[in-house]
């Protein structure tokens, strides 16, 4: 009897092992960000894989055990790192996904469990060895060293008006970092009709940036300029590299209760602020970046840690107070164009808000999980109203409390206000498809470069998004706007 039990157990184990071994590749997705390229293999089950790094030509060979179905199609992503992606049979008889590279790269490969709307995934992150892959023409660099003047985001938003350029003689521009939530393989929340949060956040962010760049004394920079993913911890770092005076992260809310609706604004919680100050005290190599010249003064002091903590506490306190005041202004303005879910700023432990030296807020533009608000959030006119409300709040706050060396401060000291340039919508010609993607119907006299400039995207993004082989477009052609 015991022999029968053992045989039965062995057969059951083999059957289970076989069922776990069966897998299929449902597709391959690719994104190129300014400093890396990410490929994602969508799988039916958790992957069992081995990686070989080969040369002549440079390539990665990922062996996937038990794959009996493969659908990778034509993999496009306009990445300078990847020449092509194809399937082959490995010597071990396993299916292999081969990533042929333009040159040797650093790689990081890991699996992710299911997270709606995606199932099991194998993620391949690639980065050029010894240098960022920012030479790619289709994706402008999103971070610069503090010693380099932050460039205008010319491929993402229109440049500042002539009035802004002439006014710099009497004061600097106040720099606003705008963070479009999610992106790339992270769609964010998904509405009942399939609208991705990342589509909404990018559209509102670009419109807001365009409005800011039309206003003398203000300048917008974007943490991401295309549809790619940036880790939440890196977003405030980009804002710091851009020397931002304020960081605004744009999102759309979602909960299981479909009736929940309305906008809200979030600031950093006191508990998270205390945690971040403590963590930064341990990272002494960041003191010069966070404390500026003060770090040089205190680094040789016997009480260096306590002095650093005092300065960081003061900086964090100033950022939190400023963030709270800006949040109140945003809520006041947004109440004129949208229902408010919360009428006061809410506090939470959010990574994107953690910078001790940059006042930061997170704006939830509405509940994408609510059917009516999903429809509103897809509407270009409503997006314009939301962006305009946030713009008015920013301008209103800095008119009252401008940085001392800014154009706004110079005008305030002279008893004058900075002339207001009325923002214009950047996408009045856009329509929104049922899946939440914007489209544009080409009219007589329009070129690809003109359409790209109108929507604040690069020509490379438009070509890639519409599978265009050249810059030629036809009257009546419908373009998908990234």
Q: For residue 299, tell me if it sits in a domain.
A: yes
Nearest to 204 by CA among 437, 397, 380: 380
- What is the structure's pLDDT at 345? 93
Query: Distance (Å, rounded) from C-alpha 426 to C-alpha 390?
Result: 16
Name 429's bridge partners.
Answer: none
- What is the structure's pLDDT at 76? 58
Burial level of 161, CB count in 10 A (0-12/13-18/19+)?
middle
* Cβ proximity of 140 and 463 under 8 Å: no
Residue 366: which pLDDT band, with cuts at 50, 70 and 90?
very high
Q: For residue 419, tell me if it sits in a domain.
A: no
Q: For residue 155, tell me if it sits in a domain.
A: no
- What is the structure's pLDDT at 34? 76
The mean pLDDT value for 113-125 works out to 85
Clarify whether residues 223 and 269 are in a common domain: yes
The mean pLDDT value for 294-308 works out to 47
Is residue 119's pLDDT more than 80? yes
Name 247's bridge partners.
Answer: 177, 360
- What is the structure's pLDDT at 209? 94
* Residue 9: φ, ψ to 5°: -65, -40
Q: Which strand ranges, in their side-by-side order, compose the sheet holding 82-89?
A: 49-54, 59-64, 95-101, 82-89
Q: Provide, rounded to the nearest whole percent, the portion of the chain with pLDDT above 70.
A: 72
CA-CA-CA-CA dihedral for 181, 164, 325, 320, to nearest 10: 60
Residue 81: which pLDDT band, with cuts at 50, 70 and 90?
confident
* Entry pTM: 0.64
Helix axes 304-334, 380-400, angle to 10 degrees: 130
Residue 410: which pLDDT band, with cuts at 50, 70 and 90?
very high
Q: How many structural domains are present in the chain?
A: 3
Query: Distance (Å, rounded) from C-alpha 29 to C-alpha 14?
Result: 33
Clarify whether residues 108 and 214 are in a common domain: no
Clarify whether residues 373 and 474 are in a common domain: no
Q: For residue 182, tell me if it sits in a domain.
A: yes
Q: Which domain holds residue 462?
A: 437-481
């Amino acid at each position: 009897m015991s022999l029968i039990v053992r045989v039965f157990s062995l057969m059951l184990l083999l059957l289970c092992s076989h069922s776990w071994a069966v897998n299929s590749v449902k597709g391959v997705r690719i994104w190129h960000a300014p400093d890396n390229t990410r490929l994602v293999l969508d799988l039916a089950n958790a992957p069992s894989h081995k990686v070989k790094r080969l040369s002549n030509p440079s390539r990665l060979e990922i062996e996937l055990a038990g794959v009996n179905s493969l659908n990778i199609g034509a993999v496009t992503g306009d990445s300078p790192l990847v020449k092509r992606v194809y399937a082959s049979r490995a010597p071990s008889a396993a299916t292999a996904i081969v990533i042929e590279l333009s040159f040797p790269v650093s790689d990081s490969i890991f699996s992710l469990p299911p997270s709606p709307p995606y199932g099991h995934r194998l993620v391949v992150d690639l980065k050029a060895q010894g240098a960022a892959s920012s030479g790619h023409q289709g994706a402008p660099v999103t971070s610069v060293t503090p010693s380099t003047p932050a460039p205008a985001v010319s491929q993402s938003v229109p440049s500042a008006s002539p009035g802004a350029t002439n006014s710099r003689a009497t004061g600097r521009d106040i720099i606003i970092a705008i963070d479009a939530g999610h992106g790339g393989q992270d769609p964010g929340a998904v509405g009942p009709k399939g609208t991705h949060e990342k589509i909404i956040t990018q559209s509102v962010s670009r419109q807001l940036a365009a409005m800011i760049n039309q206003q003398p004394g203000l300048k917008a920079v974007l943490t991401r300029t295309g549809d790619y993913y940036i880790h939440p911890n890196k977003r405030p770092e980009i804002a710091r590299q851009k020397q931002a005076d304020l960081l605004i992260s744009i999102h759309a809310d979602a909960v299981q209760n479909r009736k929940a609706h309305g906008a809200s604004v979030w600031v950093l919680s006191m508990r998270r602020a205390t945690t971040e100050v403590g963590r930064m005290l341990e990272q002494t190599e960041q003191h010069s970046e966070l404390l500026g010249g003060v770090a040089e003064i205190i680094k040789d002091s016997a009480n260096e840690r306590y002095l650093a903590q005092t300065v960081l506490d003061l900086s964090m306190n100033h950022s939190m107070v400023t963030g709270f005041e800006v949040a109140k202004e945003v809520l006041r303005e947004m109440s004129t164009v949208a229902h408010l879910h919360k009428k006061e700023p809410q506090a939470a432990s959010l990574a994107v808000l953690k910078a001790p030296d940059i006042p930061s807020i997170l704006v939830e533009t509405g509940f994408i999980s609510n059917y009516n608000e999903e429809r509103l959030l897809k509407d270009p006119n409503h997006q314009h109203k939301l962006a305009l409300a946030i713009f008015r709040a920013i301008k209103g706050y800095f008119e009252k409390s401008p940085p001392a060396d800014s154009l706004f401060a110079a005008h305030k000291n002279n008893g004058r206000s900075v002339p207001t340039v009325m923002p214009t919508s950047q996408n009045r010609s856009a329509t929104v498809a049922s899946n939440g993607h914007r489209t544009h119907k080409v009219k007589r006299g329009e070129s690809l470069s003109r359409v790209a400039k109108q929507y604040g995207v690069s020509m490379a993004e438009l070509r890639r998004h519409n599978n265009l082989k050249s810059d030629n477009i036809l009257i009546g052609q419908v373009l998908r706007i990234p």
